Amino acid sequence: SMVAERILRRRSLEIRNRQQDWQGSPEGQKMIEFRKSLPAHKERDTLLAAVSQNQVVVVSGETGCGKTTQLPQYILESEIEAERGATCNIICTQPRRISAMAVSERVAAERGESLGESVGYKVRLEGIRGRDTRLLFCTTGILLRRLLLDRELKGVTHVIVDEIHERGMNEDFLLIVLKDLLPRRPDLRLVLMSATLNAELFSSYFGAAPMIHIPGFTFPVRSYFLENILEATGYRLTPYNQIDNYGEDKKWKMQKQTLRKRKTQIASAVEGSLEAADFTDFSRQTQESLSCWNPDSIGFNLIENVLSHICRNERPGAVLVFMTGWDDINSLKDQLQSHPILGDPSRVLLLACHGSMSSAEQKLIFNKPEDGIRKIVLATNMAETSITINDVVFVVDCGKAKETSYDALNNTPCLLPSWISKASAKQRRGRAGRVQAGECYHLYPRCVHNSLSEYQLPELLRTPLQSLCLQIKSLQLGSISEFLSKALQSPESLSVENAIEYLKTIGALDEKENLTVLGHKLSMIPVEPKLGKMLVYGAIFNCLDPIMTVVAGLSSRDPFMMPFDKKDLAESAKAQFAARDFSDHLALVRAYDGWKEAERKQNGHEYCWHNFLSSQTLRAIDSLRKQFFYLLKEIGLVDNLETCNMWSEDNHLIRSVICAGLFPGICSVVNKDKSISLKTMEDGPVLLYANSVNAQEFKIPRPWLVFNDKVKVNSVFLRDSTAVSDSMVLLFGGSILPTRLESRYGHLTMLGGYLEFFTRRSLADTYLRLKTELDEF
């Protein structure tokens, strides 16, 4: 070990010498000058002293002051100076993969190295690191995964958790785990970094850990609200303009109660403030226009108008547009591309900035375009804090945000766009004042801004806990409710109990709250458990293609469009896809398959047009399907490409698998004379949404409907549904059975109860045999 120590020491010296050489070179000098100009530099010694004297330190500072790129580097440099350059091991987590990649590249460049020398990164399915890598940027999810295998974080000397102010679920989750670990690892150092000033919360969570604030600088930014924009541009909102994009909240995945409560809160706050607002200073035109403003929707036309106003009238400078998600970014981009100014590449460089862009695209975003060309970047709220585009002078803020990332440990792939907080709005505005005074165009009235909440609710308190509970179990963190009671802000115990109960019902947890084989698989699939279960069953029963389509469809918007003026035509188009199969899900499968076929013949657009389908949503479904397939292969659920679609034409089987996923979302069907009466186990009578194919029927010749979602308006309404038979519920439902079935088939449930994954062959055989015996079709 003396020899080993000597080798390590020599390596440390080598690393130090290499750094000194680079720092002596002209580029090195220039870089050092730049780094010294950042506000973080003045605090370097204070920061390093605090880190060496305390186990936990909380650092805050305005975006762009140098937290992410400098602080981990300061620690690395001081370790190298102390000749621990070969033994230190610094991990810095980022909430998003793109920032992990961008930041590591930047830090390597600041050190005159390429990635994989002292600095590296690791995100899901990708990474660059080498033998000498001592500073690793990774997603929060990656560190959580590492904890799964190495609960003590052996060999890690520093953990830096970045962007904690966002209060993402993964970050809150990681903090509980780390808080638990610290007493067992007294030598481990933890640094928490946050953009805004709620550092006290984190400090007190870690027993009054010291806080260090980096004072920053920004230039003043002038705010324009909707009324000012309308007044200045003469643009008029029309009710028609409002129908376009954001109204659809169909596929929301939030915990229903919370969402409903929040939605009404927000809606009434917005309405209240609109009523209270006094717009008398503005022209009649503007006042009329404001009365058409719909808080649920943001017209792309309005954004287009603002952008062309900037391009025609304003000084040079890049524009950053905050949108809610990348599907919206793409369709806005499509629209802008046919605009005479905005779509002209000799005048405008139009870029999209989202989580899954390539590093070539990233470069374009950071680079300054040629003189005379205006850069316009359409971004998600990722550009709020994680990514800094230096030359931005104008910000356009739609006022809403949505989680869209699809990351293995990000549990909620699709959320409803909702109003941002004042803190976010301020953050967005601040992005315009990086290099000179800037301007921010808020696409909502000032009175609405005043009614926004101060901070966003932490993700842990506003998303379903089912996936999180699975994860707590798969990380072997003990009792779920005990674990969650240790969070910064704990979710209500009722939501926790509901989640556990649900996981037991679908067979992911056993009675003692232990992970089942199914639960283990589900914890590796980043969609809601019920959709994950559908995928698992689709893989086991070899009907993967249609099931992937169903799951992808349920995770995106509804591709079936129902324009008000052509409702009948649209309904009959959808009914044709349903082919009297009494299933919205099968209708989707056929519509998608038809579209793929049409795409192959180059007439996808025409196909969508005739059938009232959104080609954009179908494309999104297509790309999700690819991700699912890759993932299922990765976790070993699909091994044989030849057989995985052996039963894909078998409608009964597909229905059964849909039933497996959606159970206990089930209601009984009783056909009356001219109407159908539907009842769920817990709500009593329920109704179908008008755009379900089953809503057009006078009789449903099956005893049950399984459904994806239910929403209470005045009555309880069911969304997409599929008719299923007794045998399907018996074999593919959960452990509890509707009473009607219990009495008739109780003795058979052990055959169909839980599916055992290791006997997939015999299971498929069992199913087929039972299908012949019990089939009622």
Give the footprint of ligand ADP on this chain (CB under 6 A).
38, 61, 63-70, 102, 106, 366, 388, 390
Count of beta carbons in the 10 Å neighbourhood of residue 670: 11
Which one of Mg ion, ligand ADP, none is in contact with 538 (Cβ closer than 5 to 8 A by kind)? none
Q: Which long-range contacts (CB under 8 A, 24 or more apart) does 303-307 make?
A: 303/332, 303/396, 303/398, 303/443, 304/332, 304/335, 304/336, 304/339, 304/342, 305/233, 305/235, 306/229, 306/233, 306/396, 306/441, 306/443, 307/336, 307/342, 307/376, 307/396
The least distance separating Mg ion from the CB of residue 94, rounded to whole angstroms, comes to 8
Structure token digits, residue 736: 């509890």
- Nearest CA to 385 out of 412, 436, 419, 420 is that of 420
Stretch that binds Mg ion, among 40-48, 65-73, 128-136, 677-685 (CB under 5 A): 65-73
- Nearest CA to 59 out of 205, 162, 157, 140 is that of 162
178, 197, 430, 625 from 425: Cα distances, Å: 31, 15, 9, 34
Which one of Mg ion, ligand ADP, none is in contact with 66 (Cβ closer than 5 to 8 A by kind)? ligand ADP
The least distance separating ligand ADP from the CB of residue 625, rounded to whole angstroms, comes to 33
The least distance separating Mg ion from the CB of residue 193, rounded to whole angstroms, comes to 7
Per-residue H/E/C for 392-425: EEEEEECCEECCCCCCCCCCCCCCCCEECCHHHH
User: Which of residues 70 and 656 has its CB atom nearest to ligand ADP in the complex?
Assistant: 70
Which one of Mg ion, ligand ADP, none is in contact with 64 (Cβ closer than 5 to 8 A by kind)? ligand ADP
Q: How far apart are the C-alpha atoms of 356 and 407, rounded to whole Å?
A: 10
User: Which of residues 67 and 333 has its CB atom nearest to Mg ion in the complex?
Assistant: 67
Which one of ligand ADP, Mg ion, none is in contact with 456 (Cβ closer than 5 to 8 A by kind)? none
Q: Torsion over CA of 683, 684, 687 and 693, rounded to 10 degrees? A: 90
349 in Cβ contact with 341 (< 8 Å): no
- Nearest CA to 445 out of 227, 215, 193, 219 is that of 227
Number of residues in contact with Mg ion under rule CB under 5 A: 2
**What's 703's DSSP letter?**
S
> Should residue 73 be labelled a site residue for Mg ion when binding is judged by CB under 5 A?
no
653 in Cβ contact with 647 (< 8 Å): yes
169, 478, 536, 582, 693 from 520: Cα distances, Å: 20, 15, 11, 33, 35
Which one of Mg ion, ligand ADP, none is in contact with 388 (Cβ closer than 5 to 8 A by kind)? ligand ADP
For strands 158-161 and 90-94, give the pairing.
parallel
User: Which of residues 258 and 362 has its CB atom nearest to ligand ADP in the complex?
Assistant: 362
**What's 587's DSSP letter?**
H
490 in Cβ contact with 484 (< 8 Å): yes
Which one of Mg ion, ligand ADP, none is in contact with 390 (Cβ closer than 5 to 8 A by kind)? ligand ADP
User: Which of residues 382 and 659 has its CB atom nearest to ligand ADP in the complex?
Assistant: 382
User: Which of residues 321 and 365 has its CB atom nearest to ligand ADP in the complex?
Assistant: 365
User: Which of residues 162 and 571 has its CB atom nearest to Mg ion in the complex?
Assistant: 162
Which one of ligand ADP, Mg ion, none is in contact with 70 (Cβ closer than 5 to 8 A by kind)? ligand ADP
Q: How far apart are the C-alpha atoms of 701 and 150, rounded to whole Å?
A: 54
Q: How far apart are the first and last CA of the chain?
A: 74
Which one of Mg ion, ligand ADP, none is in contact with 536 (Cβ closer than 5 to 8 A by kind)? none
Q: How far apart are the C-alpha atoms of 244 and 256, rounded to whole Å?
A: 25
Which one of Mg ion, ligand ADP, none is in contact with 141 (Cβ closer than 5 to 8 A by kind)? none
Which one of Mg ion, ligand ADP, none is in contact with 102 (Cβ closer than 5 to 8 A by kind)? ligand ADP
The least distance separating ligand ADP from the CB of residue 47, rounded to whole angstroms, comes to 12
Stretch that binds Mg ion, among 39-47, 59-67, 291-299, 622-630 (CB under 5 A): 59-67
Structure token digits, residue 273: 């403030």
The least distance separating Mg ion from the CB of residue 61, rounded to whole angstroms, comes to 9
Which one of ligand ADP, Mg ion, none is in contact with 106 (Cβ closer than 5 to 8 A by kind)? ligand ADP
The least distance separating ligand ADP from the CB of residue 358, rounded to whole angstroms, comes to 15
The least distance separating ligand ADP from the CB of residue 70, rounded to whole angstroms, comes to 6
The least distance separating ligand ADP from the CB of residue 78, rounded to whole angstroms, comes to 17
The least distance separating ligand ADP from the CB of residue 156, rounded to whole angstroms, comes to 21
Helix, coil or strand: residue 196:
coil
The least distance separating ligand ADP from the CB of residue 99, rounded to whole angstroms, comes to 8
User: Which of residues 242 and 385 has its CB atom nearest to Mg ion in the complex?
Assistant: 385
- Nearest CA to 57 out of 67, 66, 65, 47 is that of 47
User: Which of residues 64 and 752 has its CB atom nearest to ligand ADP in the complex?
Assistant: 64
43 Cβ neighbours under 8 A, 6+ residues apart:
212, 214
User: Which of residues 95 and 665 has its CB atom nearest to Mg ion in the complex?
Assistant: 95
Dmax (CA) of the chain = 90
User: Which of residues 388 and 651 has its CB atom nearest to ligand ADP in the complex?
Assistant: 388
Q: Which residue's CB atom is positioned nearest to Mg ion?
A: 68
The least distance separating ligand ADP from the CB of residue 249, rounded to whole angstroms, comes to 32
Exposure string of 603-636, with b = 16+ CB inside 10 Å and e = fewer, is ebeebbeebbbbbbbbbbbeebbebbbebbeeee
The least distance separating ligand ADP from the CB of residue 435, rounded to whole angstroms, comes to 9
Q: Given candidates 12, 19, 60, 68, which one binds Mg ion under the rule CB under 5 A?
A: 68
> Should residue 94 be labelled a site residue for Mg ion when binding is judged by CB under 5 A?
no
> Should residue 170 be labelled a site residue for Mg ion when binding is judged by CB under 5 A?
no
> Should residue 194 be labelled a site residue for Mg ion when binding is judged by CB under 5 A?
no
The least distance separating Mg ion from the CB of residue 431, rounded to whole angstroms, comes to 13
Which one of ligand ADP, Mg ion, none is in contact with 60 (Cβ closer than 5 to 8 A by kind)? none
Count of beta carbons in the 10 Å neighbourhood of residue 214: 22
User: Which of residues 70 and 118 has its CB atom nearest to Mg ion in the complex?
Assistant: 70
Peptide bond into 664 cis (omega under 30): yes
The least distance separating Mg ion from the CB of residue 162, rounded to whole angstroms, comes to 6
User: Which of residues 68 and 305 has its CB atom nearest to Mg ion in the complex?
Assistant: 68
Describe the strand order of the beta sheet including 158-161 as a list of residue ranges. 126-128, 119-123, 135-139, 90-94, 158-161, 189-194, 56-61, 211-214
Residues that bind Mg ion (CB under 5 A): 67-68
